[in-house]
Amino acid sequence: MTSGDAAAIERRPMEVSLDDVIAAGERLRELVAHTPLLSSDAIDEAASGRRVLLKCENLQRTGSFKVRGALNALLQMSPDELRQGVMTASSGNFGLGLAWASKLLGARASIVMPSDAGTLKRRAAESLGATVHLCAPTLADRERVKAKVARSTKAVYVSPHDDARVIAGQGTVAVEMVDEASAPASVLVPVGGGGLLAGIAIALKGLWPGVRVVGVQPTGAGDAARSKAAGRLIAEDAPQSVARGLLVNLGVKTWPIVDALVDDVVVVDDAEIVDAMRLIWESAKLVVEPSAAVTVAALASPELRGRLGDGAAIAVLSGGNVDLDDLPWKQLQPSAVGTA
């Protein structure tokens, strides 16, 4: 992204309102899971003794929150659009979410997926009836295959995060929190493209105005953290992290919302992410992917303690799609985490 693009993005207004999120909540109510808020004594202890509620979007249909935004987008399409089918480019959870939503509404879904995404994700999308189009794992080839699929299918493209309907759908995670819990001091949200963070920030700044909304990124994919610190969008050219779902930059629709409404964005390194992931598996008994564990990693980080403040927190666990034959604690240094 050039600095000219970035300047143009910064001037854009926010395109999603609290009313959009609330309307999405009504639209999705009977179709997606109302995910529970769970807790674990060991996680409270790791978070310097504060009370932590885990918003379990790993327990959402298709294993992540992405199905909310995908379905909210499709539910606002015309019958003609749905007949044409939909497409996206996603190496992971948004592809699954779009495939599931398309199956529910009887639309054809095409997913452009990098060849290194793994057979598990591919088979899961195909088992939901989607057609997977593989591309090389480069931006250029992804764009080439996207264009080719668009020409051949006439499918309507849906961005995984840079779409107002998708952002509003992801914000319904926050509406459920507000229905169920009392306001904590802070809500922590994983940040990749920023759709989840933007949607949650819009909802909470309206519904829980005193609550701090904090994004969490891997150190190696920290565009939102650096952009917030600088007050202007700074893209990360070569993001790297064990949290593969977060290797995406903010977009033209998410950055203005993150800029205006999010209180802070912090980073955690891969070793902290893997430790937190293991802690969640062992003590909360929840299968979460590395991208989901960043929020608990931030709460457990001694360096971030001052910055995150005290008081109860809600940590969003964004998804649980992970290959059980390829767990990250076998790749990184094993760490000693207690069990309950």
DSSP H or E stretch at residue 142: helix 139-153
Query: Nearest distance from residue 46's CB to its own copies, in Å?
Result: 13
Of residues 18 through 47, those in contact with its own copies by CB under 8 A are: 36, 38, 41
Q: Report the residue number, 38 or 252, with the smaller CB distance to its own copies.
A: 38
Q: Report the residue number, 101 or 250, with the smaller CB distance to its own copies.
A: 101
Query: Nearest distance from residue 279's CB to its own copies, in Å?
Result: 11
In the block, residue with structure tokens 């969640």: 280
Rounded distance between C-alpha atoms, residue 245 and residue 277, angstroms: 14
> Beta 52-56 vs 37-38: how paired, if at all?
antiparallel
Identify the residue among 120, 134, 183, 235 touching its own copies (CB under 8 A).
120
Query: Residues 30, 200, 307, 301: what is their CA dihedral angle, to the nearest 10 degrees?
Result: 40
Assess 327 for contact with its own copies (CB under 8 A): yes
Query: Nearest distance from residue 243's CB to its own copies, in Å?
Result: 17
Query: Nearest distance from residue 83's CB to its own copies, in Å?
Result: 26
Site string for its own copies, 286-325 (x = CB under 8 A): xxx-------------------------------xx--xx
Identify the residue among 53, 62, 85, 314 touching its own copies (CB under 8 A).
62
Assess 208 for contact with its own copies (CB under 8 A): no
Assess 242 for contact with its own copies (CB under 8 A): no
Query: Nearest distance from residue 198's CB to its own copies, in Å?
Result: 25
C-alpha distance from residue 128 to each of 67, 79, 117, 131 (Å): 13, 21, 17, 9
Q: Are 112 and 144 in contact (CB under 8 A)?
A: no
Distance of CA 290 to the CA centre of its chain: 12
Assess 334 for contact with its own copies (CB under 8 A): yes
CB atoms within 10 A of CB 57: 28
Closest CA to 284 of 17, 292, 174: 292
The span of 83-91, 177-185, 260-268, 283-291 binding its own copies (CB under 8 A) equals 283-291
Query: Nearest distance from residue 146's CB to its own copies, in Å?
Result: 25
Rounded distance between C-alpha atoms, residue 52 and residue 184, angstroms: 9
Q: Give the interface size with its own copies as a residue count (CB under 8 A).
A: 32
Query: Nearest distance from residue 320's CB to its own copies, in Å?
Result: 4
The span of 10-18, 136-144, 261-269, 279-287 binding its own copies (CB under 8 A) equals 279-287
Identify the residue among 140, 230, 238, 340 touching its own copies (CB under 8 A).
340
Identify the residue among 127, 152, 240, 331 touching its own copies (CB under 8 A).
127
Rounded distance between C-alpha atoms, residue 43 and residue 19, angstroms: 34
Helix (H, G, I), strand (E, B) or coil at 337: coil
Rounded distance between C-alpha atoms, residue 296 and residue 53, angstroms: 10
Identify the residue among 285, 303, 307, 332 touching its own copies (CB under 8 A).
285
In the block, residue with structure tokens 């767990």: 327
Query: What's the token pair of residue 312?
Result: 């109860």
Single-letter amino acid code for the residue at 48: S
Rounded distance between C-alpha atoms, residue 98 and residue 160, angstroms: 9
Rounded distance between C-alpha atoms, residue 1 and residue 42, angstroms: 42
Site string for its own copies, 74-113 (x = CB under 8 A): ----------------------x-----------------
Residue 218: strand pairing partners: 268
Q: Which residues bind its own copies (CB under 8 A)?
A: 36, 38, 41, 58-59, 61-63, 96, 120, 123-124, 127, 278, 281-288, 320-321, 324-325, 327, 329, 334, 338-340
